[in-house]
Amino acid sequence: MGFDYNYGCLYMQDIEAIGAIVGQLPGNSKYTMLITTHQNPDADAMGSSLGLAGYLRKKGHQVTVITPTDYPQNLHWMSGNDDVIAFDEKKRVVISQLIEEADIIFCLDFSSLDRIRELAPMVRQSRARKVLIDHHLEPESFADVALWDPKAAATAELVFRLIVQLGDKDLIDIPIGECLYAGLMTDTGSFRHSNTTGDVHRMAAVLVDLNINVSSIHRRIFDNVSLDKFRLLGYILNEKLKVLPEYKFAYIILTDAELKKYRSRTGDTEGMVNYALAVEGVVMAAILIDRVDEIRISFRSIGNFSVRDLASTHFNGGGHRNAAGGRSKLSLAETEEKLLAVIPLYQQQLLETV
């Protein structure tokens, strides 16, 4: 049986424009391409980036993946990882030259250039054509071509959709399929979040039919935890989790000293906010993390309560309705004080959410 999305001809103008770039349409030129994604990349960021990179290389293009920061060890198994260049000051000149020489820059899984930190001015000033592939709300208008759908469960889903609608489904092999599956699986919360649609399951079925090792992918991402991270989690649950039942709200605060004490590495705090959200009766949760230069905040919610609106209004952030991020230049104590002053403004909405 063939595979067909329910989207019909939606986005075909943008898909055809991208198709012309990758060689799907007449004028089969080969290009020097870069792919970049947001800071502190997660499985969807890396899975969609490396999956797209594998596809573009099959089309004959020269492709480099550059990340604005490093990323967790549990994502390093993905095909193409060894060739990823993570930005640091020692690599600034090399990365700047790569961006300057690029014909095409693909920007994946972020809607605003400030999400790529030091890479932002280089990408903005580059002469390269810029292609945005993303599912976050309110994208910044910087790209020449955009495949954007906030209803998509993951950027990996959009990359898969692009490849399929360009007629190249047969080019999705096991390494590409594993990358895309990792992005889809994690951004749907292992297929349990409300963004898990029929199309998500149809995509997963196609990838599983390639004989990708689903169990191995899950194990490498979720069951590959350092002892230090387990100890940090135990400390958080025992000492740092605060619950405000009058607001159906729970939150966690981590200082820089605590992170150092437990030898926290990149990605170790990823997903810990979900433990706060899992508390009985809680509909919104947050984790505030001291990153020295700023306070990073992750918000999660259930139902119709929009943490994106709260994050964008009060904490210079954004994201999705039930998963968003914010930041603060205040001290950790001042940021907590601000958050606790903001929450009562949403009390009625929180109490009405089930």
- The pLDDT of 146-153, averaged and rounded, is 93
Distance between CA atoms of residues 316 and 328, nearest Å: 7
- Short-list 134, 73, 123, CA closest to 95: 123
Distance between CA atoms of residues 352 and 335, nearest Å: 26
Distance between CA atoms of residues 20 and 69, nearest Å: 31
> Is 227-352 in the same CATH topology as 12-222?
no
The CATH code of the domain at 227-352 is 3.10.310.30
pLDDT (0 to 100) of residue 9:
43
What one-letter code names the amino acid at 60? G
The token pair that represents 236 in the structure block: 């958080």
- The pLDDT of 36-44, averaged and rounded, is 96
User: pLDDT of 185-224, one tens digit each?
Assistant: 999 999 998 899 999 999 999 999 999 999 999 999 999 8
Q: How far apart, in Å, do the first and last CA atoms of the chain sit?
A: 40
Would you put residue 152 in left (φ > 0), alpha (ψ -120 to 50) or beta? beta
Per-chain mean pLDDT for the chain: 92
Residue 313 buriedness (CB in 10 A; 0-12 / 13-18 / 19+): middle
12-222, what's its fold? inorganic pyrophosphatase (n-terminal core) (3.90.1640)
pLDDT (0 to 100) of residue 340:
98
DSSP H helical segments within the chain, as ranges?
Answer: 12-22, 43-58, 92-101, 119-125, 155-165, 174-187, 198-208, 214-222, 227-235, 256-261, 273-277, 307-314, 332-342, 347-352
pLDDT (0 to 100) of residue 26:
47
Burial track 273-304 (b if 16+ CB lie within 10 A, e otherwise): bebbbeeeebbbbbbbbbeeeebbbbbbbbee
The reported pTM is: 0.89
The token pair that represents 44 in the structure block: 């969807």
pLDDT (0 to 100) of residue 35:
98
Give the residue extent of every domain in the chain.
Answer: 12-222, 227-352
- Short-list 175, 174, 197, 173, CA closest to 184: 197
- Short-list 315, 322, 241, CA closest to 284: 322
pLDDT at 127 over 70: yes
Distance between CA atoms of residues 146 and 107, nearest Å: 9
- DSSP single-letter state for residue 237: I
pLDDT (0 to 100) of residue 12:
65
